[in-house]
Amino acid sequence: MNRVNAVIVGAGAAGGIVAKQLAAAGLSVVLLERGPWYTPADCRKDDLRNQRTTVLGNAFGPEDLGFPRVVVDAGGVARIVRPSDSAYQNNAACVGGGTLSYGAQAWRYMPQDFRMKSVYGAPAGSSLEDWPIGYGDLEPFYDQAEYEIGVSGDYAPDPFHGPRKRRLPMPPLPANREWEILEPAARRLGLHPFAIPMLRNSVPYNDRGPCMRCRWCVGFACEVDAKNGSQNTVIPQALATGNCELRMRCTATEILMDERGHARGVEYINEDGRREQQLSDVVVVSACAIESARLLLNSKSRLFPNGLGNRYDQVGRHLQGHYYTGALGYFDHDTYDDVGPGASIALCDYNHGTPGLCGGGMLANEFIRLPIHMIDRLPPGTPRWGQGHKQAMREWHRRTIVVMGPTQQIPTAEARVTLDPAVRDKWGAPVARIQGNSHPHTFEIGAVQAKRAQAWLQEAGAIHTALMNSRPQMISAGQHQAGTCRMGNDPRASVVTPNCQLHDVENVFVIDGSVHVSNGGFNPALTIMAIAYYASAALVRGWKGTRYRS
Amino acid sequence: MAGTAATGAVCITGCSWRNSSRWEFLSNAQAETLAALADQIIPEDDFPSASQAGVVVYIDRQLMGPYRRHRGAYQGGIESADQISRKFCGVALAQARPTMRQEVVSALAERFREFFEMVREHTMEGYYGSPRHGGNRDAVSWRMLGLKEPPLRGRAHYDLSKGRGS
């Protein structure tokens, strides 16, 4: 096969952007994606088989057969899990990756989120660290993501965000019922509520129409294509340049190395199950934190016997995601208006600045819940089955509000991805083995956040509340997975440079959530996109000099 | 279409015909026990019970698909439910008097917790989940909760020409 300038592994939030930026700069690009390209017609609105409720399987991959992982619980017991098991820590496997079916919250991290160690100090036993780049370095690229991918919202009422050069390109969606209940309550508490920024059209944008406000949003593909991901923005643009070829149902298995320590391309399994090689000048790994680490670890060669970029045993460490806490409020009146996407109001008053806590997190109301989600969210003391349960479903389904948020994760080096010594996928490659948990301080932050959510609901008139604060026995990575190929200046304590280039191999880049040093108290998608624009710009600058050949 | 026809054919010769069951995986007797169990989890009141809304159809169908892995658990668990029932009142669960059924199911929930929790979860899925999978007949649970049916809200009340919600 013809040699190309760049092979990109993974057509998700980051890989799609990198493909577009490199192709637009004139590089020839092959974009490998293990899954297919779904369309709005694949929405299906199936509450038992989507990307959030997966009791009958993942709607957008991976399929259950052939792609296991191994997870190790707090007691050290390992078990094999299938992709639709929540312990798998899945993200979608398709063109667009998680951005096809996400809730599409579009958060910028705050300036303090990039300087966690300087601001708070690292709790003993944690691996909390500063990023080698700051909010100011990413600001232009946050802006680029907001305008190119498309974000609606209004930051004006929020005094806590970092400096921005301009407003978001689209106004927020009109208020829903929960906003009307929660907004005045937050004001009475002296807080600063505002509309959640969303990667969602509120007005026609990028030649597509606005959100039709149905309740089947998070976990589903958008039926009217108003939810903005890489699959309906940058990937079509990359293909339109004529410089990018998208190869779907192609799974990368190894980064190929030459004898001088340069990458020479990628080996992958094509859609017919045949092993192929694509030679290239540079390789970009954008497979999401767990699979990116796995691909590096599976790329063993004479010069890199422990995997690529893993000279100092750093690949796969500091795995993080988000642990959510909050509260349920039960009201004596209807709170449910059936107007999607549901999540509408947030506050950032609690992200930073609480004495004794290393950060905090954003709090927001939940996306619209379907009946199946209500089964175990009835008031404490409700019978779990029988007439009492059925009666309670009728009584409360339309009269609850959930407020919750992603807690700032305090990472540990022991929460990590390695290769399982025994279990292999259907192509014969060792699978990811996931173990460890966030630092205990994370759960202290989460407990405080849950009480804050409860207080907000009480002020809003909830007649009963219940805390949502169960402590997970293992890392909660999932769709927010990050941290396995940490960005840093010290090759002994990180995997990639501040430009997302492997310390060890100058023509291999890791560009996705893997490089996050810490993961903010926010949904990470917009930051992953900003990193992709930022790292692509650096890659193109370097390309014009040396083509990454020494 | 070819795939669907082939699956049907396998079923006719492989299970339905051989054991004269009208179910895809369960025997008629197993389905009766499961219905009696599911109806304790979601009983009939002004709205249908679990089995009346198609929960057994849902579970039976999934046992041919994603819940293939639970087949052994269902066969063993249903047998346990009938054993408890026979011990309590001399007949299988489906033949027990309504007042006895609740006692049998409570005992099952205590002694075979894992099986009961699984049936509870699957019953809730079948009753409150999408009708496309064989349960929630005529979207009865969604209407019971006061939700619009069909649930495609948005298109109907959204004026795309204005670009804002009504």
Residue type, A311: R
pLDDT tens by residue, A292-306: 999 999 999 999 999
Residue B150 lies in a domain: no
The pLDDT value recorded for residue A248 is 98
Q: What's the ipTM?
A: 0.95
Mutate to test the interface with B, among A384, A385, A393 (most CBs of B within 10 A): A385
Residue B61 lies in a domain: yes
In angstroms, the CA A310 to CA A514 distance is: 14
Q: Where are the beta strands (DSSP E) in A230-295?
A: 244-248, 251-257, 263-269, 275-285
In angstroms, the CA A65 to CA A517 distance is: 33
* Chain A contact for B147 (CB, 8 A cutoff): yes
Backbone angles phi, psi at A404, to 5 degrees: -160, 175
Taking contacts as CB-CB distances below 8 angstroms, the residues of chain A near B129 are 47-48, 371-372
For residue A252, list its beta bridge partners: A268
Task: Report the pLDDT averaged over residues A520-529.
Answer: 98
The pLDDT value recorded for residue A324 is 96
- Give the confidence band of A1 by pLDDT, cuts at 50, 70, 90: low
Least confident among A166-170, A468-472, A517-521: A468-472
pLDDT over 60 (residue A328): yes
pLDDT over 90 (residue B16): no
The pLDDT value recorded for residue B2 is 35
Angle, CA of A93, A343 and A107, to the nearest 5°: 65
What is the extent of the structural domain holding B72? Answer: 22-133
Is A308 within 8 Å of A296 (Cβ atoms)? yes
Provide the number of structural domains found in chain B: 1
Taking contacts as CB-CB distances below 8 angstroms, the residues of chain B near A173 are 165
In angstroms, the CA A45 to CA B152 distance is: 9
In angstroms, the CA A226 to CA A213 distance is: 10
The pLDDT value recorded for residue B4 is 36
Is A549 within 8 Å of A512 (Cβ atoms)? no
pLDDT tens by residue, B42-69: 999 999 999 999 999 999 999 999 999 9
- For B166, residues 6+ apart whose C-beta sits below 8 A from its C-beta are B157, B158, B159
* Chain A contact for B124 (CB, 8 A cutoff): yes
In angstroms, the CA A154 to CA A132 distance is: 29
Helix, strand, coil tally for chain B in percent (to 5):
65, 0, 35
pLDDT tens by residue, B79-131: 999 999 999 999 999 999 999 999 999 999 999 999 999 999 999 999 999 99
The pLDDT value recorded for residue B149 is 73
Please tell me whether residue B33 adopts helix, strand or coil conformation. helix
Least confident among A234-243, A345-354, A472-481: A472-481
A387: nearest CB among B43, B164, B165: B43
Taking contacts as CB-CB distances below 8 angstroms, the residues of chain A near B161 are none
The pLDDT value recorded for residue B7 is 38
Using the CB atoms, write b or e for A80-91: b if 16+ within 10 Å: ebbbbbebbbbb
In this structure, what token pair is assigned to residue A548? 């990454």
- The structure tokens 């619209």 sit at A368
What is the architecture of the domain spanning A4-546? 3-Layer(bba) Sandwich (3.50)
- The structure tokens 């990023």 sit at A131
The pLDDT value recorded for residue A290 is 98
Cβ contact, residue pair B145, A204, below 8 Å:
no
In angstroms, the CA A15 to CA A95 distance is: 10
Cβ contact, residue pair B164, A387, below 8 Å:
no
Residue B42 lies in a domain: yes
Cβ contact, residue pair B124, A202, below 8 Å:
no
Q: Which of A49, A61, A57, A346 is nearest to A216 (CA)?
A: A49
pLDDT tens by residue, A349-404: 999 999 999 999 999 999 988 999 999 999 999 999 999 999 999 999 999 999 99
- Give the confidence band of A415 by pLDDT, cuts at 50, 70, 90: very high
Our CA dihedral for B118, B120, B125, B128, rounded to 10 degrees, sits at: -170
In this structure, what token pair is assigned to residue A454? 């409860």
Percent of chain A residues past pLDDT 70, beyond the cut: 100
Task: Report the pLDDT averaged over residues A92-115.
Answer: 98
- Give the confidence band of B153 by pLDDT, cuts at 50, 70, 90: low
Using the CB atoms, write b or e for B15-48: b if 16+ within 10 Å: bbeeeebebbbbbeebbbbbbbbbbbbbbeeebb
Higher pLDDT, B9 or B28: B28
User: Taking each helix axis from N to C terminus, what angle separates B113-128 and B55-62, rounded to the nearest 10 degrees?
Assistant: 110
Cβ contact, residue pair B154, A340, below 8 Å:
yes
pLDDT over 60 (residue A199): yes
Mutate to test the interface with B, among A52, A212, A223, A339 (most CBs of B within 10 A): A212
Mean pLDDT (chain A, rounded): 96
pLDDT over 70 (residue B3): no
Task: Report the pLDDT averaged over residues A147-165.
Answer: 98
pLDDT over 50 (residue A61): yes
Task: Report the pLDDT averaged over residues A191-215.
Answer: 95
> What are the domain boundaries of chain A?
4-546
- For A379, residues 6+ apart whose C-beta sits below 8 A from its C-beta are A330, A392, A396, A464, A466
- Give the confidence band of B148 by pLDDT, cuts at 50, 70, 90: confident
Q: Which of A252, A281, A284, A350 is nearest to A16 (CA)?
A: A284
Q: Which residue from B minimizes the CA distance to A171?
A: B164
Burial class of B98 by CB neighbour count within 10 A (0 to 12, 13 to 18, 19+): exposed
pLDDT over 60 (residue B17): no
